Amino acid sequence: MNNELRVIINKLIKNHSLTVDEYEKLISLRCEEAAEILKAEAVNLRKKIYGNKVFIRGLIEVGNICKNDCYYCGIRKSNKSCERYRLTGDEILACCENGYQLGFRTFVLQGGEDAYFSDDFLSDIIKSVKKRYPDCAVTLSLGERSRESYERLFNAGADRYLLRHETADEEHYRKLHPEILSLKNRIACLENLKEIGYQVGCGFMVGSPCQTAKNIAKDLKFIEEFKPDMCGIGPFIPHKDTPFRDEKSGTVELTCYLLSVIRIIHPNILLPSTTALGTVEDGGREKGILASANVVMPNLSPVMVRSKYLLYNNKLNTGAESAEKLQQLKKIISDIGYEVVCDRGDVIK
Ligand code: 5AD
């Protein structure tokens, strides 16, 4: 292995921190041996804190109507081929009931940015879920909202919020989003969520168009400094009805490498092995867990709408990706030496 890389890896393991330049080299100089060393360290840290537990979250895709037009996303506003839907409050509650019976103790309500999901509407649902299932956590993933809105939803009982920062580099952010969206506002939202008291998740796509090693280095520095409780990373996968239709997908290899690096930066973090990772390659999700991810998010959405929530081509929504096939998922995970557990799975501080 390159000696400079060896020195950087040792420093990361010792200090859980690097400069942006060092993170950049960690990425650009990477080799198989480096990946193995980082993976071993990451898995060891995860084991000390979370044992061999893998937490599950029931993902409910509440709607695919979105006011935004992000160039990478299959449910962007301009995609006229996307068949739009919204779940009603009763449908969302029915998903939770189904999930509770299956053993889920976290429900993630995810959807596009859609005014239909008003504070009143969401507060009612959150309160109902918390009243019916006091032993469950509610996670929201509904994009950018005002501080007041985040406060109201938190006061209604929401515990966690996922809002990927997408890229921590201004210039790269501009290449992925239309003018009206800004990295500054994203970060302000993340800061607000944290101050309000949510457990907060940020994250980014690996291998998104125009992404450089320097961009990823900035993502890692941002994650190091922001100290999120959760971090969602998955490979970019093109969607046929977006401007990025002809771009290449991100790789399992780099995603797993970064999962290990993020685990070393923040040993206690909750890291999902994402659906996108399972979609780009058969067995990708297992590789994510073996690289120190400790969360999986099976799909609890009504089966009828699953084929409509397509952020990218060929998104998995059957098999071990679906909540009904929890037994299958448990077996896959136990076959690689881990155990799916049915509790809230809060971050250990
Ligand atoms: N490929 C991979 N991930 C995507 N996302 C959106 N579009 C894509 C795509 N084409 C991710 C974004 C978003 C999350 C919900 O899904 O990072 O934050």
Q: Sketch the domain layout of the chain as residue ranges.
A: 16-341
Shortest-distance atom of ligand 1 to CA 205: 17
- Phi and psi at 348, nearest 5°, equal -95, 115
What token pair was written down for 215?
A: 């961009």
Task: In whole angstroms, give the CA distance from residue 321 to residue 278.
Answer: 8
pLDDT at site 324: 78
Question: Ligand 1, atom 18: nearest CA belongs to which residue?
Answer: 164
CA 74 to chain CA mean position, Å? 17
Task: Give strand pairing partners of 202.
Answer: 231
Distance 70 CA to ligand 1 centre (A): 9
162 within ligand 1 shell (Cβ under 6 A): no
Nearest to 139 by CA among 126, 152, 151, 148: 126
Q: How far is the CA of 233 from the centre of ligand 1 (A)?
A: 9
Residues 6+ apart with CB under 8 A from 92: 60, 62, 109, 125
pLDDT of 321 reads 76
Angle in degrees, 0-180, between the axes of helices 89-102 and 119-132, rounded to the nearest 10: 30
Please tell me the predicted confidence (pLDDT) of residue 322.
84
* pLDDT for 320: 75
In whole angstroms, give the CA distance from residue 129 to residue 112.
21
What pLDDT score does 199 carry? Answer: 98
Ligand 1: does its nearest atom lie under 6 Å from the Cβ of 312?
yes
pLDDT value of residue 317? 82
For the chain, percent helix, then strand, then coil, each to nearest 5?
A: 45, 15, 40
pLDDT of residue 323: 76
Neighbours of 117 (CB within 10 A): 25
Two tokens, residue 294: 């400790």
Tell me the C-alpha distance between 127 and 282, whole Å: 39
Q: Tell me which residues of the chain have a pLDDT lower than 50.
A: none
The torsion region of residue 276 among left (phi > 0), alpha (psi -120 to 50) and beta comes to alpha
CATH number of 16-341: 3.20.20.70
Q: Is 205 in the pocket of ligand 1 (CB under 6 A)?
A: yes
Q: Which residues of 219-237 are buried (b: 16+ CB within 10 A; e: fewer)?
A: bbbbbbebebbbbbbbbbb
- Token pair of 228, please? 């999120």
Q: Which atom of ligand 1 is nearest to the CA of 203?
A: 17
Residues 6+ away with beta carbon under 8 Å from 284: 252, 255, 273, 277, 278
Query: Strand runs (DSSP E) across the chain, as ranges?
Result: 53-56, 58-63, 106-111, 137-141, 160-162, 199-206, 230-235, 295-296, 339-341
Residue 318, pLDDT score: 75
Which amino acid residue places its CA nearest to atom 6 of ligand 1? 73
State how far the Cα of 150 lies from the Cα of 146, in Å rounded to an integer: 6
Q: Which of 311, 313, 315, 316 maximizes ligand 1 atoms within 8 Å of its Cβ, making it the mutation to test the pocket?
A: 311
Rg of the chain's alpha carbons, rounded to an integer?
19
Tens digits of residue pLDDT in 198-245: 999 999 999 999 999 999 999 999 999 999 999 999 999 999 999 999
